[in-house]
Amino acid sequence: MAGAPLSMAAVARKNIRRRPWRSFCLVLTVLLFAFFLYAGTVLSISLSGGARSTADRLGADVIVVPAGYDPHIDSIILSGKPSMFYLPKDILERLRDVEGIDRMSPQTFLATLRASCCSYPLQIVGVDYDSDFIVRPWLEATLGRGLKDGELIVGYRVNGEAGERLHFFGVDLPIAGRLEQTGMGFDSTVFVTRKTVTDLAKAAENIFKHPLANDGSLVSTVMVKLKPGYDSVKVAQEINRRFGDDDIFALFSKKFVNSIASSLTLVSWMIRGGIGLVWLLAVIVIALLFSVTMNERKGEIGVLRAVGASRGKILALALTEALLISFYGAVLGTSLGAAAAAVVSPAVSEALKLPFLLPSWRALILLGVASVTVSVLTGVLSALFSARRASRADIYDTLRGN
Partner 1 sequence: MRTLFAVVNALLGLVLALTPFWLAPVCSQMAPHGGPMKCYYSGLFIAGMGAVVVVLALFALLRRGRGWFAVLASLVAVAAAVACLLVPNGVIPLRGAGWVCGLCGDPTHACRAVTMPLVRKIAAAIVALNVVSLILSFVRGGR
**Can you give the binding site for partner 1, defined by CB under 8 A?**
13, 16-17, 20-21, 23-24, 27-28, 31, 114-120, 159, 167, 328-329, 332, 336, 339, 342-343, 346
- Tell me the Cα Rg of the chain: 31
Strands 62-66 and 221-226: antiparallel
Name the residue nearer to partner 1 (CB basis): 97 or 361. Answer: 361
Between the alpha carbon of residue 81 and those of residues 11, 233, 353, the distances in Å are 60, 26, 11
Name the residue nearer to partner 1 (CB basis): 32 or 260. Answer: 32
Name the residue nearer to partner 1 (CB basis): 45 or 91. Answer: 45
Report the C-alpha gap between 220 and 86 in whole angstroms.
4
Q: How far is the CB of 184 from partner 1 (least distance, A)?
A: 18
Burial 32-51 (b: 16+ CB within 10 A, else e): bbbbbbbbbbbbbbbbbbbb
Report the C-alpha gap between 232 and 225 in whole angstroms.
9
Q: How far is the CB of 343 from partner 1 (least distance, A)?
A: 5
Burial 277-286 (b: 16+ CB within 10 A, else e): ebbeebbebb
Q: How far is the CB of 242 from partner 1 (least distance, A)?
A: 42
Report the C-alpha gap between 217 and 357 in whole angstroms.
35
As beta bridge partners, residue 252 has 62
Q: How far is the CB of 20 from partner 1 (least distance, A)?
A: 4
Name the residue nearer to partner 1 (CB basis): 20 or 228. Answer: 20
Report the C-alpha gap between 313 and 8 in whole angstroms.
9
Name the residue nearer to partner 1 (CB basis): 38 or 243. Answer: 38
Name the residue nearer to partner 1 (CB basis): 119 or 240. Answer: 119
Q: How far is the CB of 167 from partner 1 (least distance, A)?
A: 7
Q: How far is the CB of 325 from partner 1 (least distance, A)?
A: 8
Report the C-alpha gap between 109 and 30 in whole angstroms.
51
Q: Residue 378's closest CA among 32, 51, 54? A: 32
Q: How far is the CB of 112 from partner 1 (least distance, A)?
A: 11
Q: How far is the CB of 13 from partner 1 (least distance, A)?
A: 7
Report the C-alpha gap between 267 and 379 in whole angstroms.
28
Name the residue nearer to partner 1 (CB basis): 170 or 273. Answer: 170
Contact 232, 252 (CB under 8 A): yes
Name the residue nearer to partner 1 (CB basis): 22 or 103. Answer: 22
